[in-house]
Amino acid sequence: MARILSVSPIVVPCLFTTSRRIVRVAVTARNPSISFESMALKPPLHPTYDLKGIINLALAEDAGGQGDVTSMATIPVDMEVEANFLAKEDGIIAGIALAEMVFCEVDPSLKVEWSQKDGDCVHKGLQFGKVYGRAHNIVVAERVALNFMQRMSGIATLTKEMADAAYPACILETRKTAPGLRLVDKWAVLIGGGRNHRMGLFDMVLIKDNHISIAGGITNAVKSVDLYLEQKNLKMEVEVETRTLEEVHEVLHYASQTKTSLTRIMLDNMVVPLPNGDVDVSMLKEAVNVINGRFETEASGNVTLETIHKIGQTGVTYISSGALTHSVKALDISLKIDTELALLVGRRTNRA
């Protein structure tokens, strides 16, 4: 029999500099000056996710045990500068609160100001924030802060487009998020005007095709969930995936015969692509009509910016799209330090 190894958590050091020294801060460090209460839109809840730990892990992988050798070699220890955040394309800005947390973790004395908030629309060329303080620490924090902001803003921008097109249905993301960034990605969806699907495997029952196959059918799977929740005295949302109208009828028949914990029916791949690029939503619409409001409904599969409006008009409650997070295009954002030399070079290259 194979042995099961117990792996202890590893505390990864985060390295940055306050002068030319390297300072180590543990992943578990807490900064009392950061408060979710002051945020325009708080991150979703997760029982074990350590947001500050993720920030410190990102800083640590950048520092690599040595710190920023380029900055230590080129930037005077006590030099202070002002740097401006610049939107280089149109979109929805997201990650402002998280970026501020990054700067605070690196150097709590850095002063950060914003003219926009998470969820606001920004246009190419807009300076929407600035940070002032020790130049070295601004540069150390720059890439980590921008990486979070660019990814989150890309997610929020696409979410906003899809949410507007899906109305009156609500747009949801899925669990197809970047490993380690589950909460960050889902936070960006909220900022973009979407709703969160289940956070993970723990907060909602979602009976999918593999569960159904192993359980011996859709009725057996739902019945097993009902029994399990009753035995464990658990109350949570329950969703079952259906792939055909026959499965929808089977679920409804089971629900009519017994008390069930089921709350939502997923209608998977009932949006059928057509050769001309359009989609046929007749099966989806029929399924929604058959369910007739007895359960929430969720359309999944073949959801794009081009198809989502048509899907949203069928009467479904929700539309879920993995593309919101698994195929994100980052929004182009930069952080520019305005020294006289930088401005001179910028004018020469038409970048000022």
Task: Tell me whether residue 208 is one of the annotated catalytic residues.
Answer: yes
Task: Tell me whether residue 107 is one of the annotated catalytic residues.
Answer: no
Q: Annotate the chain with three-state secondary structure.
A: CCCCCCCCCCCCCEEECCCCCCEEECCCCCCCCCCHHHCCCCCCCCCCCCHHHHHHHHHHHHHCCCCCHHHHHHCCCCCEEEEEEEECCCEECCCHHHHHHHHHHHCCCCEEEECCCCCCEECCCCEEEEEEEEHHHHHHHHHHHHHHHHHHHHHHHHHHHHHHHHCCCEEECCCCCCCCCHHHHHHHHHHCCCECCCCCCCCCEEECHHHHHHHCCHHHHHHHHHHHHHHHCCCCCEEEEECCHHHHHHHHHHHHHCCCCCCEEEEECCCEECCCCCEECHHHHHHHHHHCCCCEEEEECCCCCCCHHHHHCCCCCEEECCHHHHCCCCCCEEEEECCHHHHHHHHHCCCC
Task: Tell me whether residue 268 is one of the annotated catalytic residues.
Answer: yes
State the catalytic residue, choosing from 117, 130, 176, 198: 176
State the catalytic residue, choosing from 42, 111, 124, 208: 208
State the catalytic residue, choosing from 130, 143, 175, 243: 143
State the catalytic residue, choosing from 134, 268, 298, 336: 268
Task: Tell me whether residue 176 is one of the annotated catalytic residues.
Answer: yes
Task: Tell me whether residue 241 is one of the annotated catalytic residues.
Answer: yes
Give the residue numbers marked as catalytic. Answer: 143, 176, 208, 241, 268
